[in-house]
């Protein structure tokens, strides 16, 4: 049995490592508040520091572009699964409001998080918390908004992963959309407990299960103490 069969299983490695890797971009930030942008120096893979590229299958197509007067991450996926991720140590209890910009250009037509054989999406934002708890926000193709999927992994990985569809379908494809979530509220609802520190963040694209193509952009991601309108 291939324990890496899920599109998000490789995040287990991130969860384990995040407890050991100090944050490079938030060490000087106030506790909790953080900005995860794509303005750092770009390496030969097209990935800006301090983000790191993780490829599960296929070929990663990653680039940094200027759009909306900011630098954005461009993900182009063809029968592949890959992500960029970084470690952090943000205290979401002090800064619970997560805001990000994203734009889907092409959704995998048969993508549906409700079944492992169709678990593809152009854009996915994952948060890894202390205690191997992971919350994933997804722009889905078919699953309705507010769909929740438990994609947890048992021994030997032992990661509890909850997937929440926050945007779905073609209505906003090709347009920048601002998303705002209260991470603490979402975490409490899905995990039935209080969240610990945020240890890692990941932006991912999957299109390997349905042999499809997907494309999207991710803009800056913010954690703040501001009010949420979700």
Q: C-alpha 50: how far from its chain's center?
A: 16
What CATH number belongs to 11-224? 2.60.120.260
In the prediction, which pLDDT does 229 show?
54
Distance CA 113, CA 124 (A): 11
pLDDT confidence tier of residue 18, bands split at 50, 70 and 90: very low
In the prediction, which pLDDT does 118 show?
96
Q: Smallest Cα–Cα separation from 46: which of 63, 59, 58?
A: 63
Structure tokens at 213: 């193509």
Distance CA 145, CA 219 (A): 21
User: Can you say whether residue 138 is alpha, beta or left, with left for phi > 0 and alpha for psi between -120 and 50 degrees?
Assistant: beta
In the prediction, which pLDDT does 227 show?
67
Distance CA 215, CA 103 (A): 9
E strand map for 68-153: 70-78, 81-90, 97-106, 121-129, 133-140, 148-150
pLDDT confidence tier of residue 56, bands split at 50, 70 and 90: very high
Distance CA 47, CA 183 (A): 26
Task: For CA atoms 179, 165, 104, 220, give the dihedral sign.
Answer: positive
Distance CA 150, CA 161 (A): 6
Q: Give the H or E element holding residue 186.
A: helix 183-191
Q: Smallest Cα–Cα separation from 221: which of 191, 200, 197, 195?
A: 200
Looking at the DSSP assignment, which residues form a beta bridge with residue 138?
A: 124, 165
- pLDDT tens digits, 185-230: 999 999 999 999 999 999 999 999 999 999 999 999 999 997 655 6
Q: Where are the domains of the chain?
A: 11-224
Structure tokens at 89: 């140590």
- pLDDT tens digits, 132-185: 999 999 999 999 999 999 999 998 889 999 999 999 999 999 999 999 999 999
pLDDT confidence tier of residue 33, bands split at 50, 70 and 90: confident
Looking at the DSSP assignment, which residues form a beta bridge with residue 53?
A: 84
Phi first, then psi: give them for residue 191, nearest 5 degrees: -110, -10
pLDDT confidence tier of residue 26, bands split at 50, 70 and 90: very low
Q: Please list, in sequence order, all residues whose beta carbon lies within 8 angstroms of the beta carbon of residue 48, skipping any fewer than 6 positions away.
A: 38, 39, 40, 41, 42, 64, 71, 73
């Amino acid at each position: 049995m291939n324990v890496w069969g899920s599109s998000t299983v490789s995040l287990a490695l991130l969860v384990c490592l995040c407890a050991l890797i100090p944050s490079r971009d938030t060490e000087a930030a106030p506790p909790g508040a953080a900005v995860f942008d794509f303005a750092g120096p770009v390496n030969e893979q097209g990935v800006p520091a301090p983000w790191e590229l993780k490829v599960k299958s296929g070929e990663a197509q990653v680039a940094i572009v200027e759009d909306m007067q900011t630098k954005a991450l461009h993900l182009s996926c063809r029968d592949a699964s890959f992500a960029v991720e970084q470690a952090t140590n943000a205290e979401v209890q002090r800064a619970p409001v997560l805001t990000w910009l994203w734009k889907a250009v092409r959704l995998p037509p048969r993508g549906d998080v409700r079944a492992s054989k169709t678990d593809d999406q152009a854009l996915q934002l994952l948060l890894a918390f202390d205690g191997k708890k992971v919350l994933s926000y997804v722009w889905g193709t078919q699953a309705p908004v507010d769909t929740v999927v438990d994609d947890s992994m048992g021994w030997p990985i032992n990661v509890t992963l909850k997937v929440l569809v926050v945007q779905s379908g073609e209505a906003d494809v090709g347009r920048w959309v601002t998303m705002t979530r209260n991470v603490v509220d979402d975490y409490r609802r899905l995990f039935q407990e209080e969240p610990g520190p945020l240890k890692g963040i990941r932006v991912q694209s999957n299109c390997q299960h349905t042999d499809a193509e997907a494309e999207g952009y991710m803009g800056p991601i913010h954690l703040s103490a501001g009010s949420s309108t979700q």
